[in-house]
């Protein structure tokens, strides 16, 4: 199965670990191609970088192409800033409205 992993880029470490685990199970898994740029950064730096990637490099539309080729998406929604099951912008968007 081809799985696109989605969530806030603040959770990059968890996304990459989940990718490894899914691949151990025989799946093909993807995270944003921009994820590696988030490694080693704190939460504030990751937030700023994610905004820059979305605005300057159209990161969301680029990952949308990966999602369209996937069999499923897996949304990692950990607690963040007192919000239970926080999700980032990518899984929150209504893609049907964006793509119409």
Residue 28: band (very low, low, confident or very high) from pLDDT cuts 50, 70, 90: very high
Contact 3, 71 (CB under 8 A): yes
**3 in Cβ contact with 22 (< 8 Å):** yes
Alpha-carbon separation of residue 97 from 47, 51, 69, 77, 89 (angstroms): 25, 21, 19, 22, 14
Tens of pLDDT, residue by residue over 34-88, are 777 778 888 888 788 778 877 777 767 778 888 889 999 898 888 877 878 877 6
pLDDT at 98 over 60: no
Residue labelled with tokens 């470490």: 13
Question: In the structure encoding, which two tokens stand for residue 65, read together?
Answer: 């192409």
**pTM, entire model:** 0.74
């Amino acid at each position: 199965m081809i799985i696109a992993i989605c969530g806030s880029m603040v959770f990059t470490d968890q996304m990459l670990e989940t990718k490894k685990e899914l691949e151990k199970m025989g799946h093909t898994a993807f995270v944003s191609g921009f994820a590696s740029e988030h490694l080693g950064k704190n939460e504030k730096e990751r937030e700023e970088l994610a905004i820059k990637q979305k605005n300057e490099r159209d990161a969301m539309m680029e990952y949308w192409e990966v999602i369209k080729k996937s069999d499923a998406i897996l949304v990692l929604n950990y607690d963040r800033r007192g919000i239970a099951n926080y999700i980032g912008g990518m899984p929150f968007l209504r893609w049907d409205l964006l793509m119409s």
